[in-house]
Amino acid sequence: MNASSVPGNVTDDRFNEVLALIQSAKQQAMQAVNTQLIELYWQVGAYISRKLEKAEWGDSVVSQLAEHLAQTQPGLRGFTRPNLFRMRQFYETYRGDEKVSPLVRQIPWTHNLVIFSQGKLPEEREFYLRMAVQEKWSKRELERQFKTALFERGVTQPAKTSAVLRHTHPAALEIFRDAYMVEFLDLPGGHAETDLHKGLLARLKEFLIELGRDFCFVGSQYPLQVGGRDFALDLLFFHRGLNCLVAIELKVGRFEPEYLGKLDFYLEALDRNERKPHENPAIGVLLCANKDDEVVEYALNRSLSPALIAEYQTRLPDKQLLQAKLHEFYALDFEQEKSG
């Protein structure tokens, strides 16, 4: 008797399709339950909001409702006085906003609590809702993205890319960032490139989350042979959405224009020797400790490769400073709309 014929053998791969169907059904059932729960919280919040707005109820009545539910529905969880007021806030935050209505029903209640309690602007809340759905962040990761001011950085500091990248991969502008947070590495102030490289490999899961859901790790010190010589690319990834290889070169100092020439060389080697026929041209990312934006602009302006220059940051940004820049950005945008 072979191993595959043994009843209950967990290594039997003949039934993988059935297991996949079961797993898919479980996920759909969980999503359906979550959707119904969020819809219930929305309706309860709407009901309480109307009662309070019409002065038919006072705050004390909400407390009485919580006590009544606890007595009459002893198995019912989540309907405490604070949560009932959160349901009201949830409804009042999003009512009338048809764009986000489907989104709030696709994420857990804990995620919604984080977003509508910490998000200050409608655009910010919509951004985190869409990202939470797209990236499937855990609650902990969602809270981390608020701490790293991902929204403020995305608006005030867009990715610095070459014209070729914008032309060949227009969707990349929504995927890549001007700065990547690697505070989870706990790097010392005077760290070397090897420290950064080893740290990223040791915390690859966290780095992949920071890069984005569609990034897949291919290799470290990826070997490239050109003209009988051997070269090693720091990190190589594949992006499923863009359908292309993504080469990342690490620099622990500031960006220097000559770095771009080496990255161009690696991209040419990848496209000639590694790229599959159905894949798009490779993208290059220079990840530096810091950069002068004017130097970056000059360097990228004549670049013929789909490349971008980004920073890695080892400490959380000053969120208040970024929020001030964000307000300036929106104020300037408003003034331009008025004058236009």
* Tens-digit pLDDT profile for residues 305-319: 999 999 999 998 888
Q: Is the pLDDT of residue 265 over 90?
A: yes
Residue 276 placed within a domain: yes
For residue 46, give its domain range.
25-148
Residue 328 placed within a domain: no
Tens-digit pLDDT profile for residues 142-176: 999 999 999 999 999 999 999 999 999 999 999 99
Are both 123 and 208 inside the same structural domain? no
CA 295 to CA 78: how far, in whole Å? 54
Q: Where are the alpha helices (DSSP H) in the chain?
A: 16-53, 59-72, 81-94, 101-104, 109-118, 122-135, 139-147, 150-156, 163-168, 193-202, 204-211, 258-273, 293-301, 319-339
**β-pairing verdict for 215-226 and 229-239:** antiparallel
Are both 169 and 311 inside the same structural domain? yes
Q: Return the higher-pLDDT residue of 52 and 327.
A: 52
Counting residues of the chain whose pLDDT is more than 70, the rounded percentage is: 94
Q: Is the pLDDT of residue 2 over 90?
A: no
Are both 181 and 303 inside the same structural domain? yes
Are both 125 and 206 inside the same structural domain? no
Q: Is the pLDDT of residue 205 over 80?
A: yes
Q: Is the pLDDT of residue 33 over 80?
A: yes
Q: Which pLDDT score, from 0 to 100, does residue 259 have?
A: 96
Mean pLDDT confidence for 107-128: 95
Q: Which pLDDT score, from 0 to 100, does residue 328 have?
A: 82
Tokens of 282: 């490779």
Q: What is the mean pLDDT of the chain?
A: 91
Q: Is the pLDDT of residue 129 over 90?
A: yes
Are both 70 and 144 inside the same structural domain? yes
Q: Which pLDDT score, from 0 to 100, does residue 4 have?
A: 45
| Domain final residue pick, 114, 148, 182 | 148
Residue 100 placed within a domain: yes
| Domain final residue pick, 148, 171, 205 | 148
Tens-digit pLDDT profile for residues 68-86: 999 998 888 889 999 999 9
Are both 182 and 98 inside the same structural domain? no
Is 256 exposed, middle or buried, given 0-12, 13-18 or 19+ CB atoms closer than 10 A? middle
Q: Which pLDDT score, from 0 to 100, does residue 337 have?
A: 62
CA 151 to CA 128: how far, in whole Å? 8
Cα 14–Cα 20–Cα 23 angle in degrees, nearest 5: 140
Q: Which pLDDT score, from 0 to 100, does residue 340 have?
A: 59
- Phi, psi (deg, nearest 5) at residue 106: -100, -5
Question: Residue 136 to residues 12, 31, 185, 319: CA-CA distances in angstroms?
Answer: 30, 13, 22, 24
Mean pLDDT confidence for 184-203: 95
Residue 59 placed within a domain: yes
Residue 326 placed within a domain: no
SS3 302: coil
Amino acid at 251: K
Are both 108 and 216 inside the same structural domain? no
Mean pLDDT confidence for 214-218: 97
pLDDT-derived band at 242, boundaries 50, 70, 90: very high
Listed ranges 49-53, 233-237, 299-303, 328-332; the one with the highest mean pLDDT: 233-237
Q: Return the higher-pLDDT residue of 28 and 200.
A: 200
CA 265 to CA 280: how far, in whole Å? 17
Return the H-helix or E-strand segment holding 209: helix 204-211
Q: Is the pLDDT of residue 6 over 60?
A: no
Are both 107 and 206 inside the same structural domain? no
Tokens of 313: 């940051």
Are both 314 and 227 inside the same structural domain? yes
Instruction: Kindly report the pTM of this predicted structure.
Output: 0.85
Residue 66's closest CA among 93, 54, 48, 49? Answer: 48
Number of independent structural domains in the chain: 2
| Domain final residue pick, 128, 148, 168 | 148
